[in-house]
Structure 1
């Protein structure tokens, strides 16, 4: 596992110490967890919850109404 050095002012160090103690993890683990949370690749929950919420979005039939009928496929 790699190590990284970061420089924090006294106020920030105290906040890290307090937060990691409250979470009952090491300072290193607390910082690693914070980085993990902030660097995820999933869509945020607020965005995922919006899926399907646009009621005015046209339905498939409405979108294709002016395109005409599909032509039949050729048999292989």
Structure 2
């Protein structure tokens, strides 16, 4: 049985578990992975009292095991 060449990272988006091999991903790639509309906002949950961070579509995130992200649909007015 062959060993895996790439490490796998365990992350969560909106409570769903994903395994990824990329060490960095953009907000757009993370939303695509979770099958979320690109108009949604993506946030990285902060640890403890750290604030949550907005992850822009072109912002690169260094992926680490155990990261939690969530999406928020675009606001509707009127």
Same fold by TM (over 0.5)?
no
Task: Choose 1 or 2 for highest CA Rg.
Answer: 1
Question: As a proportion of its length, which structure holds more helix?
Answer: 1
Question: As a proportion of its length, which structure holds more strand?
Answer: 2
TM-score by length of 2: 0.22
Taking CA–CA contacts closer than 8 Å with sequence separation of 6 or more, which of the two structures ends up with the larger relative contact order?
2
TM-score by length of 1: 0.22
